[in-house]
Amino acid sequence: MDKIQSLTGMLDQYDDGDMSNVSSKLFEVEKIIKNIFTSYKFQEIRTPVLEDANLYKRSVGDSSDIVNKEIYSFNDRNDKTIAMRPEGTASVIRSIIEKKLDQTNHKLWYLGPMWRYERPQKGRYRQFNQAGIEVLGIPEGLPEYEMISVVCSVIYQFKLKNCCIKINHLGTRENKQSFCKTLVNFLEPFKKDLDEKDLERLSKNPLRVLDSKNSKTQAILQNAPSIKEFIDQSSINLLESIKNEFSDLCKIEIDHNLVRGLDYYSGFVFEAISSELGAQDSFLGGGRYDQLSSQLGGKNMPAIGMAIGLERLANIAKVELVDRKLVTFVIAASNLEPKAYKIAHHLRSINRDITLDINLAEGSLKSKMRKANKNNSHYVIIIGDEELKSKTAVIKSLKDELGEQQTVSIEDLYSFYESL
């Protein structure tokens, strides 16, 4: 019978403790990201992986590749079109509106799998993990600094090199409309040189032409009007201030062609890139989306957020395992394994900072000791028939050259384990 293989772009992730393995590194990356978010007092929110497909048409935008080409969707038994979430922000805002919380301030974080039908490449898969934060209910100002502070913390915590934070400001809705009209007029004589995708962007959301990956389009845009000419001085001052305040911590550039790929962005936008990721060099991005709540049927609510592609981050992150002491518990008793196991259970309850590995498989004492050495255990605790009868245990150190061992009472074993 043929083996069933995983689908293209769907990655099995297994933690074998090897930090040269991206899948293993991903687990540590998630732990560190959670710690960063909680250190800023963000609260966790969890949303369903399945949503009404209209949520993304109204938020991400029907001119985006995500909605047009990449979204995983199907009709359920009631003939309702369901989508597997391609990003996290829309679900968070939908949840806040549904719970009638769209008139209060929130600092939220999320982490989980997303799906997009795109070409798999380094750090990009069709099922991928994304972590994000959202600051809701607070207008432009300090939240922008909070976002860049978090980005700098990510870069610092993961010891990222060759990174740059790009920032831009898209102005007010009126600024955007005025700029888009001017951009369309500028590109009118060049329509014959634009590819099908850029022509579609030009008709639905002209701003996104600036995000084109077509080299011919980018050459034309070299002489295009800049959004800098349309935004007010306060927006330019914000960009300059953020650059000045954080430039001693991270490399920051003002890039007036940065627009981000989702239609709901307005105002301040940003992304972090790394030259180590190749052509698709962004691993983190976000911006302000003050109109999204009202677009989804809620009340007007200022908001800003960001999302991190965790597989992409894991590809470039420098991660070291926290050195938790490992103790191997060897049961060498012939008929009294449950009694010995109960001792191990109690050890785990009195010191949860230690990893206690019980060798569950059958085998000789010698083979179990070999495995303990291979796993780099600090100590081995051995309990056999004689130890159970005398209510003692053998403790053997595997980290000193002499490999000293001692026989202690069970009470002294508990005290020893608690002190590790």
Strand, coil or helix: what is 401? coil
Indicate the CATH number for domain 326-419. Answer: 3.40.50.800
Handedness of CA 144, 147, 149, 155 (dihedral sign): negative
Which residue type sits at 35?
Answer: N
Percent of the chain at pLDDT exceeding 70: 95
Read off the pLDDT of each residue in 332-339 and give the average, rounded to a whole number: 76
Q: How far is CA 144 from CA 43, 170, 225, 244, 289, in A?
A: 18, 14, 26, 14, 12
pTM for this model (two decimals): 0.85
Domain boundaries, the chain: 22-172+231-316, 326-419
Read off the pLDDT of each residue in 84-108 and give the average, rounded to a whole number: 94
Tokens representing residue 404 in the block: 């000293």
Indicate whether 316 pLDDT > 80. Answer: yes
Architecture of domain 22-172+231-316: 2-Layer Sandwich (3.30)
Q: How far is CA 412 from CA 143, 179, 225, 340, 416, in A?
A: 54, 76, 77, 16, 6
Is 115:51 a contact under the CB 8 Å cutoff? Answer: no
Is 359:371 a contact under the CB 8 Å cutoff? Answer: yes
CATH topology match: 22-172+231-316 vs 326-419:
no
Is 419:378 a contact under the CB 8 Å cutoff? Answer: no
pLDDT at site 261: 63
pLDDT at site 337: 77
Rounded Cα gap, residues 267 and 61, in angstroms: 17
Is 246:152 a contact under the CB 8 Å cutoff? Answer: yes
Indicate whether 140 pLDDT > 90. Answer: yes
Rounded Cα gap, residues 215 and 194, in angstroms: 10
Q: How many CB atoms lie within 10 A of CB 224?
A: 17
pLDDT at site 176: 82
pLDDT at site 319: 85
pLDDT at site 347: 94
pLDDT at site 357: 93
pLDDT digits (tens, 9 = 90+) for 10-44: 888 887 776 667 778 899 999 999 999 999 999 99
pLDDT at site 60: 79
